[in-house]
C-alpha cells in the first residue's frame, strides 16, 4: 500500500515538473528564439511588411484595404471592412459605411450558399458596381470581385477583376489607359513556378502607385 502511494506521488511529481519545463521551453524559449532569429535575418517581414510612403506608414503589403474613391482600384467585399475605420472628435470609431467599428477582427459573414442574404448582398453589389462602371456588362463581372473573402483581409483580386475596373479608373483619375495598365501589370504576380496558386493583383500596391502618379501622396 505504502509503495503504491509513493509511486503515485512520484508520478505526479514527474508530471508537474515536466509540464513546467516543457511550458518554458515550448511556450517561452521557442517563440523568443524565433523572434530573435527573425529580427536578425528577416527584420522587415518579422515586423509585418509595413509599407512606408514619404515617411508615413500607409498599410501592410499582405493586408488588404477597402477603397471607395472611383480613381482607386476596389477590393473584394469584406465583413470586417478590412479593419478600416474613421474616428470622430469624440473618439467614436465607425466603419466607412457608418456602422460602428467593434475593434479588430477577421473573417466573413459565413453565409451558406443557400442563404438568401448572400444573394441579396451580391445583387445589391452588382447594381452598385454597374452604376459606377457603366461600360461593364453584368456577365463580365468576375466571380471574385463581388464575393467576400474568407479572411475579410484579402489583399488581392484576380487580373480579370482588375481589368473590368480599368476604364473607370482611367476616367476618374485622369491618367492614361497605358499608365493604369502598366501599374496593374507591375503589381500582378503569376503562379509560383507557373503551377501553384493563382494569378493575383495586389490592390493596395496598385493604389499607392496610382496615388503617386496622380500626385496625391
For another protein, the binding residues in 170-189 under the rule CB under 8 A are none
Q: How far is the CB of 176 from another protein (least distance, A)?
A: 21
Q: Is residue 196 within the footprint of another protein (CB under 8 A)?
A: yes
Tell me the per-residue interface mask from 20 to 39 with another protein, x by CB under 8 A, - otherwise: xxxx-xxxx-xx-xxx-xxx
The answer to the question of residue 4 lying near another protein (CB under 8 A) is no
Task: Choose, by CB under 8 A, the member of 55, 91, 98, 116 that binds another protein.
Answer: 116
Q: How many residues contact another protein, by CB under 8 A? A: 108
HEC sequence for 128-185? HHHHHCCCCCHHHCCHHHHCCCCCCCCCEECHHHHHCCHHHHHHHHCCCHHHHHHHHH
Q: Taking the complex as a whole, how short is the minimal distance between the CB of residue 50 and another protein, in angstroms?
A: 7
Residues 41-100 interacting with another protein (rule: CB under 8 A): 41-42, 45-50, 53, 56-65, 67-69, 72, 76, 82-87, 96
Distance CA 30, CA 128 (A): 50
Residues 6 or more apart whose Cβ sits within 8 Å of residue 122: 146, 147
Q: Shortest Cβ distance from residue 167 to another protein (Å)? A: 18
Strands 188-189 and 200-202: antiparallel
Who contacts 150 (Cβ-Cβ below 8 Å, separation ≥6)?
107, 108
Q: Which of 6, 12, 128, 176 binds another protein (CB under 8 A)?
A: 12
Closest contact distance (angstroms) between CB of 80 and another protein is 9
Amino acid at each position: 500500500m505504502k509503495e503504491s502511494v509513493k509511486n503515485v506521488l512520484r508520478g505526479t511529481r514527474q508530471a508537474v515538473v515536466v509540464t513546467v519545463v516543457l511550458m518554458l521551453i515550448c511556450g517561452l524559449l521557442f517563440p523568443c528564439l524565433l523572434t530573435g532569429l527573425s529580427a536578425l535575418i528577416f527584420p522587415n517581414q518579422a515586423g509585418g511588411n509595413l509599407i512606408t510612403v514619404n515617411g508615413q506608414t500607409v498599410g501592410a503589403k499582405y493586408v488588404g484595404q477597402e477603397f471607395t474613391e472611383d480613381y482607386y482600384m476596389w477590393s473584394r467585399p469584406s465583413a470586417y471592412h478590412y479593419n478600416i475605420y474613421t474616428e470622430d472628435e469624440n473618439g467614436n470609431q465607425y466603419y466607412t459605411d457608418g456602422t460602428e467599428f467593434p475593434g479588430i477582427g477577421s473573417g466573413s459573414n459565413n453565409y451558406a450558399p443557400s442563404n438568401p442574404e448572400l444573394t441579396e448582398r451580391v445583387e445589391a453589389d452588382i447594381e452598385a458596381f454597374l452604376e459606377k462602371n457603366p461600360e461593364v456588362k453584368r456577365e463580365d463581372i468576375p466571380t471574385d470581385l463581388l464575393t467576400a473573402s474568407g479572411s475579410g483581409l484579402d489583399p488581392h483580386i484576380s487580373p480579370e477583376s482588375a481589368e473590368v475596373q480599368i476604364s473607370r479608373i482611367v476616367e476618374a483619375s485622369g491618367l492614361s489607359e497605358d499608365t493604369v495598365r502598366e501599374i496593374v501589370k507591375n503589381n500582378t504576380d503569376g503562379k509560383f513556378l507557373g503551377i501553384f496558386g493563382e494569378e493575383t493583383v495586389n490592390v493596395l500596391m496598385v493604389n499607392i502607385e496610382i496615388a503617386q502618379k496622380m500626385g496625391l501622396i
